[in-house]
């Protein structure tokens, strides 16, 4: 998890710069009347290229010392969606998720099958699994394994760092959401969390777009992204009320933690989190913008 006393001023500044660069990428696409779907994909690609987030280059390690990456995206007005899980050689998993959406009849492809599908898509950049290596994440793996040995049990809480996501509303009134992650440090047995699961880590419809980050098992059990949308559609809640209820009440009730980012069709933004911090950046409909890591 993100803790204030473990983040140096210098590293915090780099994170803010990466968030601002990603925002500028999405802003450029939307300002040119591009689609929300293209914008969220481009933002997530930018974050996957940074070693400071748990996605792409900064992905955490599995128990066997490798990287398995997951991603998904969804377009609200069409309900089209694409996702991949457990990929090991795809430089930008969100791009492969988009290819699943655009060039296959499926929504979710996993593991070796997703890799074989990537072989048919010449636009998808491929890398050796070692390309995702970073010293920081390797140190986290060793620390988690040492903690596991000492406790003589597998601990899940706090073993994830910085899943990335983006939500957007475009000039056409369309919404989209995208999410990408390296999963959980020291994960085993092909474990998959919420990020590639439509309705859990990612959701978009005509009213709202949502991307989540946190303890994936709890986010799956709460269907976090869809629950926020459902509370708006069926219960009449506004975006802030729905997001707060799910992230601050439903998830902790199961012992989980994390956060979400969401935007509705009126341009309202919600970014609740029940942890010490959550990397986030925003550009509001009135042009105001910002980046943040911790709460007030």
Contact 211, 202 (CB under 8 A): yes
Annotated binding residue at 131?
Answer: no
- Report residue 2's pLDDT band, with 50, 70 and 90 as the boundaries: low
The per-residue pLDDT for 59 is 97
* Domain-located, residue 14: yes
Report the candidate in 292, 218, 221 with the shortest Cα–Cα distance to residue 261.
292
Q: What's the number of domains the chain is made of?
A: 1
* Domain-located, residue 102: yes
Annotated binding residue at 213?
Answer: yes
Q: What is the mean pLDDT of residues 28-36?
A: 98
Nearest-angstrom CA–CA distance, 141 and 231: 38
Q: Which domain holds residue 20?
A: 10-133+141-206
pLDDT tens-digit profile of 99-144?
999 999 999 999 999 999 999 999 999 999 999 999 999 999 999 9
* Domain-located, residue 52: yes
* Domain-located, residue 255: no
Handedness of CA 146, 150, 156, 157 (dihedral sign): negative
Annotated binding residue at 282?
Answer: no
Annotated binding residue at 194?
Answer: yes
**pLDDT of 226 higher than 80:** yes
Output the average pLDDT for the chain. 94
- Report residue 182's pLDDT band, with 50, 70 and 90 as the boundaries: very high
The model's pTM: 0.95
* Domain-located, residue 262: no
pLDDT tens-digit profile of 50-99?
999 999 999 999 999 999 999 999 999 999 999 999 999 999 999 999 99
Instruction: Tell me how far CA of residue 276 lies from CA of 10, 47, 78, 97, 247, in angstroms.
Output: 19, 21, 36, 30, 14
* Domain-located, residue 119: yes
Handedness of CA 247, 214, 188, 146 (dihedral sign): negative
Annotated binding residue at 216?
Answer: yes
* Domain-located, residue 292: no
Nearest-angstrom CA–CA distance, 246 and 230: 11
From the candidates 62, 89, 163, 202, give the one annotated as an active-site residue. Answer: 163
Annotated binding residue at 212?
Answer: no
* Domain-located, residue 267: no
| 202 tagged catalytic | no
Order of strands across the sheet that contains 108-110: 108-110, 81-87, 69-75, 175-181, 164-169
């Amino acid at each position: 998890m993100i803790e204030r006393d473990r983040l140096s001023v210098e590293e915090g500044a780099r994170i803010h710069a990466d968030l601002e660069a990603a925002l500028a990428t999405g802003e450029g696409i939307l300002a040119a009347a591009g689609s929300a779907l293209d914008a969220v994909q481009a933002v997530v690609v930018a974050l996957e290229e940074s070693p400071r987030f748990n996605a792409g280059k900064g992905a955490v390690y599995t128990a066997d010392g490798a990287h398995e990456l997951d991603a998904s995206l969804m377009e609200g007005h069409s309900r089209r969606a694409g996702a991949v899980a457990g990929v090991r050689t795809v430089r930008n998993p969100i791009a492969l998720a988009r290819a699943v959406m655009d060039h296959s009849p499926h929504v979710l492809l996993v593991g070796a099958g997703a890799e074989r599908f990537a072989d048919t898509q010449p636009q998808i950049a491929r890398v050796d699994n070692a390309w995702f290596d970073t010293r920081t994440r390797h140190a986290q793996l060793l620390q988690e394994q040492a903690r596991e040995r000492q406790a003589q049990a597998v601990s899940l809480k706090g073993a994830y760092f910085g899943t990335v996501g983006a939500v957007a509303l475009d000039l056409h009134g369309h919404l989209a959401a995208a999410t990408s992650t390296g999963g959980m440090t020291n994960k085993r047995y092909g474990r998959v969390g919420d990020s590639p699961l439509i309705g859990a880590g990612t959701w978009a419809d005509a009213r709202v777009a949502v991307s989540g980050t946190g303890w994936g098992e709890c986010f799956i059990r709460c269907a976090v992204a869809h629950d926020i949308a459902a509370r708006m559609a069926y219960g009449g809640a506004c975006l802030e009320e729905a997001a707060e209820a799910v992230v601050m009440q439903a998830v902790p009730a199961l012992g989980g933690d994390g956060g979400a980012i969401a935007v509705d069709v009126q341009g309202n933004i919600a970014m609740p989190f029940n942890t010490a911090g959550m990397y986030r950046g925003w550009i509001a409909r009135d042009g105001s913008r910002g980046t943040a890591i911790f709460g007030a």
